[in-house]
Structure 1
Amino acid sequence: MKVIFIFIDGVGIGSKNSNTNPIYATQNLVLAKLIEDARFKADASLGIEGLPQSATGQTSIFTGVNASATINRHLSGQPTASLRDIIYRVNMFSELKNMGFNVTSANVYRDEYLAKMLDMKDKRNRPSVTSVMGMAAGIKFKTVADFVDNRGIYHDLTGEILKESGYIVNTISPEKAAQNLYQLSRDNDFTLFEHFITDIAGHIASMNDAVSVIEILDSFLAELISLMDFEEDVLIITSDHGNIEDVTVQTHTMNKVPVVVLGKKADGVNRQINSLVDIMPYVLELFSIQENGYNFK
């Protein structure tokens, strides 16, 4: 079994109004259909008042700990020391590695950013939740060289931002990015890819810009789905909070987030996903059933 886990920042389940929801204004409506057919709808509020935010939401997804309840608020941006402590104590990568599975992050890091991120003396640097998880689990991070060799995916899928940053690289199509992700997943039991352009576009709240972002994402997802064998492969897609699904506001939303699960290997998982904290236990149970024939407790 090969599992690809795609985390898309800032995508909630909104209205089907194509005038306000760019997910329903694209040509092929790939993400729209995935959201409509999502196996679960997860609460992102985590029992805490206020708009859900990225640092606490992502920590909750990738640790199974209610981060918002732990610090009694929603926290935006990157995790603080208290959230990093949670991630170092328990996280999806480390748990799967401890179970004997090969895990990787497909995301490419710019060389200068990676150097600063790994410099533990630089207290000004605050890496993302998935980056902290990778460091805690001892994951080897992908570099620009991996992008050039088609062994890693940049967060914008095409590498256009890398080129604009001064790197001498050829941009790729979203379909090629999907092919690269699929090939990378063949060497690992669990492959994570994070896409956060959606959240940025949601905050800008421009319909044209948001539709462009979703169009690229639609092409990427359609190609990836066409490559996967859902008799053996499992694709999981989820988010940390709503945002881009409503361009009438520049803030996050209170909408639930989709949890898309495709693949017959997941049919044996009895666990339900009602909130973000249920996602990691679901993933661990999926792997435990396939490996050992019993449910994860």
Structure 2
Amino acid sequence: MLAFLFVDGLGLSADPRSPLRQLELPTLRALTGDFSPAARNAPGVAYRVLDANLGFEGLPQSATGQTTLLTGTNASALLGHHQGPHPGRRLQELLREQSLQVWAARQGLRLLHANGYRQEYLERLRASRRNLFSAFAFAAVAAGLELLPLGDPRTVPPAFWPDPERSGERFAAMAQGHDLVLLENWSLDYSAHREPERLSERFTELDRFVRGWLEAGPEATLLLTADHGNAEEPWHSSHTRNPVPLLVVGPKASTVPPMGSLVDVAPWVRGQF
């Protein structure tokens, strides 16, 4: 049982101005060794630092970063550049063939895309002539999964949790009933672009969500990682070339090998089943 918590826009920074240095964030600090710039292992915990630039100049983007995480193929190399925010035709083809969601469905695994969506947003997605799906949502649909509305008992709100610990506990309960469950949290990237003054709330919510997962004590393993940096430098609204964290907590943590980039995540996930 593996739960993939994707956090859009979470990079690593040693700058003393960074929220990673300014805020308490006790749960994430303890698990990552104070957001260490180097890999570390502890009982039931594996922490890695991943390059998100994928060998290309410019700022990493969501479509190529997320597609790389989900397929294990360097999506920026496929295109010759970074692409965001939504995957275009070539990345869509890659997601249909190689994404973790499609792979898991073919294996007959119990699979869940746990995001809840506002009804009006779902209607806009379906009505648009161009792709407005994120890579995670596109891969879910490609795997035959339904995008569920907020309030459905099979979902967790993806962001702005009024009770983060309770949401973390709920995510842990969902993981107990599935082989692979995925949740796409986009609030850090959203706030970094649009309302940086509220980033401290978003970081605190994430820390409390992970605490709720831990307090639930699930048998499942939690994987947390990101596609690119952004929120760790709130003094601007752009993505960054900073590395991103990969955190694995639970029984499968002892199997995490050395990793160098986003490309390494999907092969490890497949190897757990």
TM-score when scaled to structure 1?
Answer: 0.82
1:233 corresponds to: 220
Q: Does 1:180 align with 2:180?
A: no
Structure 1: gaps of 5 or more residues = 159-171, 288-297
Would the aligned equivalents of 1:243 and 1:251 in 2 still touch at CA under 8 Å? yes
Residue identity matched to 1:189: D
- Summarize the alignment of residues 1-297 of structure 1 with structure 2, pairs less than 5 Å apart: 2-15=1-14, 17=16, 20-35=17-32, 36=35, 39-118=47-126, 122-146=128-152, 149=153, 151-158=154-161, 172-204=162-194, 206=196, 208-229=197-218, 232-269=219-256, 271-287=257-273
Structure 1 pair 264–64 and aligned structure 2 pair: CA distance change class (3 A): same
Distance 1:76 1:85, change over 3 A: same
Question: Does the CA-based 8 Å contact 1:117-1:126 persist in structure 2?
Answer: yes
SS at match of 1:286: coil
Secondary structure of 1:236's partner? strand
Give how far 1:205 is off. 6.8
Contact 1:157 1:177 in 2 (8 A): no
The CA deviation string for residues 199-245 of structure 1, in whole angstroms up to 9 with x for no partner, is: 12222473x4111111111111111122134xx42110000011111
Where does structure 1 differ by over 3 angstroms across 4 or more consecutive aligned residues?
Answer: 32-35
Deviation at residue 25 of structure 1 after TM alignment: 2.6
CA deviations over 1:182-205 (Å, ceiling 9, x no partner): 222222111111111101222247
Letter in 2 for 1:250: S
Are the equivalent residues in 2 in contact too, given 1:205–1:250 (CA < 8 A)? Answer: no
Q: State whether residues 273 and 282 of structure 1, in contact with CA within 8 Å, keep that contact through their aligned partners in structure 2.
A: no
The CA deviation at 1:112 is 2.6
Moved more, 234-243 or 213-222: 213-222
Distance, in Å, in 2 between the alignment partners of 1:256 and 1:265 is: 23
Change (3 A) 1:154 1:88: same
Q: 2:215 is aligned with what amino acid?
A: S
Deviations 1:142-165 (A, max 9, x none): 21241xx4x31122242xxxxxxx
SS at match of 2:245: strand
Change (3 A) 1:219 1:200: same
Partner amino acid for 1:5? F
1:216 is paired with a residue whose SS is helix
Q: Secondary structure at the match of 1:261?
A: strand
| Letter of the 1:220 counterpart | F
Distance 1:28-1:257 versus aligned 2 partners, 3 A rule: closer
Q: Deviations over 1:232-271 (max 9, x none)?
A: 42110000011111122221111111110112334235x4
SS of alignment partner, residue 229 of structure 2: coil
Cα contact 1:205–1:248 (8 A) shared by 2: no
User: Partner of 2:148: helix, strand, or coil?
Assistant: coil
| 1:205–1:247 CA contact under 8 A, matched in 2 | no
Residues 275/204 of structure 1: CA separation in 2 closer, same or farther (3 Å cut): same
Q: CA deviation at 1:283?
A: 0.4
**Higher deviation after alignment, 97-106 or 33-42:** 33-42
Structure with larger Rg: 1
Q: Supply the RMSD in Å over aligned alpha carbons.
A: 1.9
1:53 deviates by 0.8
CA distance in 2 between counterparts of 1:30 and 1:243 reads: 21
> Are the aligned partners of 1:238 and 1:257 in contact in 2 as well (CA < 8 Å)?
yes
